[in-house]
Structure 1
Amino acid sequence: MSLPNHYVAGTTRHTDVTLFTGDLDDTPAGYTDRDALLAHLDRQVLHGSKSRDFASAYLTTKDGTRAPRMYRINSDTLGKCEYVQLTNKQYAAVMVIDIDVPGTAGGHPVNLNDEVKAKFSQLIAHNMGPAWVGINPVNGKCQALWLIDPIYADVSGQSRHMALLAAATHTLGQWLGHDSHFAHRFSRSPFYTGDSPTAYRWYRQHHHIRRVGDFLKELRTMTGQEQYTKPRQQFSSGRELITAVKTRREEAQRFKALSQDVESELAGELDQYDPELTQGVRVLWIREGRAARDETAFRHALKIAHRLRQSGQRMTDAAIIDAYEQAYAIAQEIGADGRKLELPPMRDRQTMARRVRGYVTQAKTHGYVSASGGKQATATERKALATMGRRGGKKAAERWEKDPNGEYAQKRRETLSKTHKRKRIQGLSNRQKVGQFVTTFWIETDRLPSWKEIQKETGLSRATVARHMATLKKAGELPTD
């Protein structure tokens, strides 16, 4: 297609026929336009690729690492690169949108999709039009560039300005019908000077530079989207914030206690109404007709252990093993797939019971949620609480120094005493567990187990096993070879 003979704002006139271009200028970009774009990018080199084989855009260094092929902006080889990276993780001076809506062949603004042209016209009417538009001459798809105030980020690529650019790119891209898989790394190069028939045809529209925040705000106003507003502080003082947090926590604790009571009371009865359960057991399948017996049995034993704990009952080995065996038998009955019953030996089942008990007792929940509104503390509130917590720690230290025998100090000592007592009892329980296993192992095998075997059996760390073994040896409670 030859260049149009006459240009009118927003139209291309071929003799007597007027075609709509979406108010885009149909004058191809020249060398002066490209120099202005390079000056705005403020880069001495650019990472380019001569084709869609982006692997060739990297070279292998002497130490075996991969490095990008960089091209000087004033070199002729940059003009041979059909793709280029206009931005990177640490720096961006343009916003790139890849519009994946096909139009018609030709490579001119008139060949763009009608809906895309209408939206470009709307942007231009609000002084938000693209600075550059590149059009695929084969299918009428395009890429658009907006010049922005340069923004920066650290080595990880994280900064508030980069997050703002990502939000603006996503909002504008969704409205224009962008390619959601476009990685915003390699894009079509406006500096390409080769003769590829599929190279994009570029048209410079203006040199206006926009602030990303202002652009995003105006875009949301134009498209009728809700504007972002910074959350305001909801509390007039730190004391009010602390009181609100305590109230939320107390409500959550009451709700949790109530839900646990209901769960322990009704869980067994409700199982019979669940269509996915077989006699109260959820059977897992490897494939159709073949059940995952061990996985099914272990998960059911874990569920029963949780229920025992919630109802205040002891999680004994017998109760957990019974649940395991029941689930295993049901899985075998409905999904044996020709396999014989292969229950693990009793010793392995006892080990499984101890591990299940450990999983349940060590389970923790994170964060607090209000039972009524389900609202969590905002980032500002959490920061304020952390600051007041540090100040509270300083005040507590002052109380200790001023009155070590006062009411505050006595209460803190009482709390610490309870904590130490619980830790002492837990340590005694673990030491007895280690001693019992070592004794049983020695009776059965006539040798002492290794530390790794003790760790595997008890689930304790190497340091804890070493400490308990030293204590038992010093007390003479270990069998001798």
Structure 2
Amino acid sequence: MQALTFLQHLGRDAFQASRDRDFSRAWKKNVETGETKPRMFPVGTPALERCQYAVLTHPQYTAALVLDIDRPSHKAGGQITDLHTKVHTTLDRLAIAGYGPAWLGINPLNGKAQVIWLIDPVYAGEGRSSPNTRLLAIATTELNQLLGGDLAFSHRFSRWPLHKSSDPTAYRWHCQHNQIVRLTDLVAEVRRMTNTQTPERGEGEKQYPSGRDRIAAARNATAEAQTLRALAEQLPETSQIAPAAAGVIDGVRVIWVSAGRAARDETAFRHALATAHRLKKAGEALKDAKLIDAYERGYNVAQAVGGDDREPDLPPMRDRLTMARRVRGYVTAGVTNPTTRTGGNSRMSSAGRKALATLGRRGGQRAAERWKDPESEYAQQQRTNLATANQKRQWQGTALRAQVQSTILSTRVQTGRDPSTKELAGEYGVSERRIRQLRDELGLAAKRGRPPKRETP
């Protein structure tokens, strides 16, 4: 009865399947045409029952959510109690809330598992995705993170729950129920368990009463980013920051954007990075919990002393986990003073970028209208300004050429040697390529080889 309900829900008359991990047998080739097609096994046939693997999902139609839990317990037996302790506890919590998997397959050798949820079927057009398939991808990712699943699982060939074989290594399958779950409810429960807030539609997108207000907001965000970039160049190495250092408040070095306004996300990230470097130096493991605690502490201190009447806006747990991985990567690579972006509402949304682009196009159209009459006052003034700028650049080039020639000849007379291209570029604030170009024009190319060392007095 349970197997029949499972098959009816999947809604398939035949499955592509394989008896073992040699998946090349799951395909057949037409000798005459050379075309390769999947080898399909009709439902209810002995051939399908002997298969341990089958394709349960399809990009255009899926009625099951399959996870590969690659966390061994090193217990033999193939029973549910042989699962890894954390996996067993988490699945119990899901089952108590009414969102446990319908089928569990246990590896009888090491306690690894595959689990299957029966879900409302999701559809997508050929070669395309849909909101429901994207929701399925979100649910799969968050369940993998919750249960320690294999993120590299291809979701192509899965273990077949209805197989019958004498293979001692075959998974032992246990049917728990035939309940069909809604993906939105399942995702909400997973986020409740992980204390992750569900993002609201349109979150972070601010509406502006006019285009001028939107442009002003974009300019303010750019100015804030430039301020933080300038601060980053002046900051000492994060690994050298100590609680007793100047400017440290309650063990956290707060970064200020303006008077009374702290860069909360930047402060929190740098405090987490400094903590990670100290942990590594002490020989301790860089656990997610420690790095997230340091991030939250830095954020709360910055909010307390420089909130500037802003409400706390900590990123969701998923972003904090990403932050922890990023910090570990920096520590491993030895990076102590990275350039980070500010979080919050300073980032321009897609609608904002489109609005700014539209305003920019309109400005270009107005300018193009002014150029329609080449003899208009506007066109004549612009040509005059351009000619003046070109003349000024020409004079600057002539003056630079004369200065370089004078310096080279003077140095030859006084010291008997040529100044290097690097020295000339540094003296006049231009590139070495420009100096080489001028030397070629003047016929005063530098001598080949390394310049002789100067004698120290």
TM-score by length of 2: 0.51
Q: What secondary structure sits across from 1:244 in the alignment? A: helix
Q: CA deviation at 1:198?
A: 2.1
Aligned partner of 2:207 among 235, 251, 258 = 235
Counterpart residue number, 1:273: none
Q: Distance in 1 between matches of 2:379 and 2:342?
A: 30
Q: Distance in 2 between matches of 1:225 and 1:371?
A: 21
Q: Residues 155 and 255 (structure 1 numbering): CA distance in 2 closer, same or farther, change over 3 Å?
A: same
Q: Does the 8 Å CA contact 1:251/1:372 hold for their aligned counterparts?
A: no
Q: Does the alignment pair 1:83 with 2:83?
A: no
Q: CA deviation at 1:373?
A: 9.1
The letter for the 2-side match of 1:148 is: I
Counterpart residue number, 1:173: 144
Q: What secondary structure sits across from 1:193 in the alignment? A: coil
Q: CA deviation at 1:224?
A: 1.8
Q: CA deviation at 1:380?
A: 3.2
- The 5 Å alignment of 1:263-412 reads 375-386=346-357, 392=362, 396=366, 400=369, 410=378
The letter for the 2-side match of 1:242 is: I
Counterpart residue number, 2:255: none
Q: Distance in 1 between matches of 2:99 and 2:197?
A: 18
1:77-114 per-residue CA deviation (whole Å, 9 max, x = no partner) reads 22221101111222221111112223522222233333
TM-score by length of 1: 0.49
Q: Does the alignment pair 1:201 with 2:172?
A: yes
Q: Distance in 2 between matches of 1:77 and 1:372?
A: 56
Counterpart residue number, 1:182: 153
Q: CA deviation at 1:249?
A: 5.7
- The 5 Å alignment of 1:428-467 reads none
1:286-306 per-residue CA deviation (whole Å, 9 max, x = no partner) reads xxxxxxxxxxxxxxxxxxxxx
Q: What secondary structure sits across from 2:348 in the alignment? A: coil
Q: Does the 8 Å CA contact 1:50/1:81 hold for their aligned counterparts?
A: yes
Q: CA deviation at 1:145?
A: 0.7
Q: Residues 385 and 142 (structure 1 numbering): CA distance in 2 closer, same or farther, change over 3 Å?
A: same
Counterpart residue number, 2:6: 37
Q: Distance in 1 between matches of 2:79 and 2:369?
A: 79
- Identity of counterpart residues, as a percentage? 37
Q: CA deviation at 1:53?
A: 0.7
Q: What secondary structure sits across from 1:145 in the alignment? A: strand
Q: CA deviation at 1:247?
A: 5.1
Structure 1 runs not aligned, ≥5 long: 1-31, 263-368, 423-481
Between 1:243-252 and 1:64-73, the stretch displaced more is 243-252
Q: CA deviation at 1:131?
A: 1.0
Q: CA deviation at 1:248?
A: 4.9
Structure 2 runs not aligned, ≥5 long: 234-339, 391-457
Counterpart residue number, 1:96: 66
Counterpart residue number, 1:71: 41
Q: Does the alignment pair 1:244 with 2:213?
A: no
Q: CA deviation at 1:400?
A: 4.6
Counterpart residue number, 2:196: 225
Q: What secondary structure sits across from 1:194 in the alignment? A: coil
Counterpart residue number, 1:469: none
Counterpart residue number, 1:125: 96
Q: Distance in 1 between matches of 2:206 and 2:76?
A: 57
Q: Distance in 2 between matches of 1:383 and 1:74?
A: 56
Between 1:235-244 and 1:138-147, the stretch displaced more is 235-244
Q: Residues 394 and 223 (structure 1 numbering): CA distance in 2 closer, same or farther, change over 3 Å?
A: same
Q: Distance in 2 between matches of 1:225 and 1:72?
A: 43
Q: Does the alignment pair 1:49 with 2:18?
A: yes
Q: Residues 106 and 372 (structure 1 numbering): CA distance in 2 closer, same or farther, change over 3 Å?
A: closer
Q: Distance in 2 between matches of 1:87 and 1:407?
A: 69
Q: Distance in 2 between matches of 1:122 and 1:190?
A: 23
Q: What secondary structure sits across from 1:151 in the alignment? A: strand
Aligned partner of 1:60 among 29, 46, 54 = 29
Q: Distance in 2 between matches of 1:46 and 1:98?
A: 20
Q: What secondary structure sits across from 2:119 in the alignment? A: strand
Aligned partner of 1:161 among 128, 132, 141 = 132
Q: Distance in 2 between matches of 1:371 and 1:137?
A: 49
Q: Distance in 2 between matches of 1:122 and 1:217?
A: 14
Report runs of 4+ in structure 1 exceeding 6 Å deviation.
250-256, 369-374, 406-409
1:169-206 per-residue CA deviation (whole Å, 9 max, x = no partner) reads 12212222223332222111012123322222222212
The letter for the 2-side match of 1:206 is: H
Q: What secondary structure sits across from 1:120 in the alignment? A: helix
The letter for the 2-side match of 1:243 is: A
Q: CA deviation at 1:393?
A: 8.1
Q: Distance in 1 between matches of 2:382 and 2:181?
A: 63
Q: Distance in 2 between matches of 1:196 and 1:413?
A: 89
The letter for the 2-side match of 1:73 is: V
Q: Does the 8 Å CA contact 1:148/1:210 hold for their aligned counterparts?
A: yes
Q: Does the 8 Å CA contact 1:131/1:205 hold for their aligned counterparts?
A: yes
1:211-234 per-residue CA deviation (whole Å, 9 max, x = no partner) reads 212211111112223433342421
